[in-house]
Amino acid sequence: MINVAILGYGTVGSGVFKIINENNSHISRRAGDDVKVKYVLDLRDFPGDPVEDILVHDVDIIMNDETVDVVVEVMGGVEPAYTFVKRALEAGKSACTSNKELVAKHGVELLQIARDNNVNFFFEASVGGGIPIIRPLIECLTVDHIEEIQGIMNGTTNYILTKMEDEGADFDTVLKDAQDKGYAERNPEADIEGYDACRKIAILTSLAYEKQVDFEDIYTEGITKITTADFDYMKKIGASIKLLGMARKDDGVTYSMVAPFVVYNDNPLYNVKDVFNAILVKGDMLGEVMFYGKGAGSLPTASAVVSDVVDAVKRQGYTEKIFWNDTKRILGTVDAFTTPYFVRVGLGGEDAASVKAAVESHFGEVEYIDGVKSDEVAFITKDMSGSEYDKAAEGLNVVSRIRVSK
């Protein structure tokens, strides 16, 4: 018998409880042992809920019970999640989590504690919810050098951008709609400013390139400056705008960032809409492979967590090797990151021909996008670094600029 304790009975925790109970025979067969939820920890009471019989309010009951084999942490936030997971691992219990903040901040440390105690720390659901991406990176793509990762990693921002594109609604209107439907929090800052995606790409960059990447070092830009006019230009060139988490290795330099990008219709991420997420991985041998699905929600995320529970049961007695060490990886600066740019320049009382002449004197040859707004000039630049762009843009009345995915 394998006893599981769930820390937190919110959206994901209740999903984990439901899946283990309702699919118990299937899960136990795959795990090779009977799997049972022995405890659920939460500060609240749930009268009439099936969890009531196993609900506890004191974490010590779980930590001191030697029959608990796996602890599932789905509380969110760094504390007390970090303290609880650390205690579980030190007590010889494997731990599984969906907590991106915890993994981004303490993942490498918790992996080492797991190794020291001959148990496992798994975190598939911390990136992409129900989309399998962590395990493919550490198990299935081991022969490839990862050249680049591009991902739509936040369903809220993807929903907002999709509605702006398809319905022509402005940002504030769509944000309110997303909040009304429960896709966005009352305080949506973590989503719309890119912080949620930043923690996820920090985890993937650390795993892909095997050294610690601190999310505080990742350049992060949200979607609050994107307008419906930007999408009008996109329709002219067969493109869209997506908030991407990106990791790339160029000439031995590792870059990691979160920002809006122009994505053309030949990129598989172009067709990812609404609350769906997708992560595109480019390997030097495999080429491109994409992982797509629901990036959040009770059952999709809980499904990934329970898969980790099954893996932890199957790996009792030894720790899976995950290549992520605590040596800090120094990232290349955003000034050195090269990409084309989509730029809109206001006429400012001048005629379009004069402004185009100024654009070409600053940027050289560009690809113009005409026929959208009469009071500005829009164009796509050549591939250039961030510092080259900043220098070229000096003196021009730049209305908007968005990087272009290559």
Fold of 338-404: Alpha-Beta Plaits (3.30.70)
pLDDT digits (tens, 9 = 90+) for 111-120: 999 999 999 9
pTM of the full structure: 0.95
The residue written with tokens 């993937």 in the block is 204
Phi, psi (5° rounding) for residue 371? 85, 20
- Spatial neighbors of 196 by CB under 8 A, at least 6 apart, are 100, 153, 154, 156, 190
Specify the CATH superfamily of domain 2-130+298-322: NAD(P)-binding Rossmann-like Domain (3.40.50.720)
Residue 249 is a catalytic residue: no
pLDDT digits (tens, 9 = 90+) for 358-378: 999 999 999 999 999 999 999
Is there a common fold for 2-130+298-322 and 338-404? no
- Class of domain 134-293 (CATH, top level): alpha beta
131 touches 295 (CB < 8 A): yes
What are the boundaries of each domain within the chain?
2-130+298-322, 134-293, 338-404
pLDDT digits (tens, 9 = 90+) for 187-209: 999 999 999 999 999 999 999 99
Q: Is 261 helix (H, G, I), strand (E, B) or coil?
A: strand
Catalytic residue selected from 38, 163, 200, 249: 200
What is the overall mean pLDDT for the chain?
A: 95
Q: Which one, of 246, 247, 243, 245, lies nearest residue 210 by Cα?
A: 247
Kind of pairing, strands 146-152 and 239-250?
A: antiparallel
Mean pLDDT of 227-237: 97
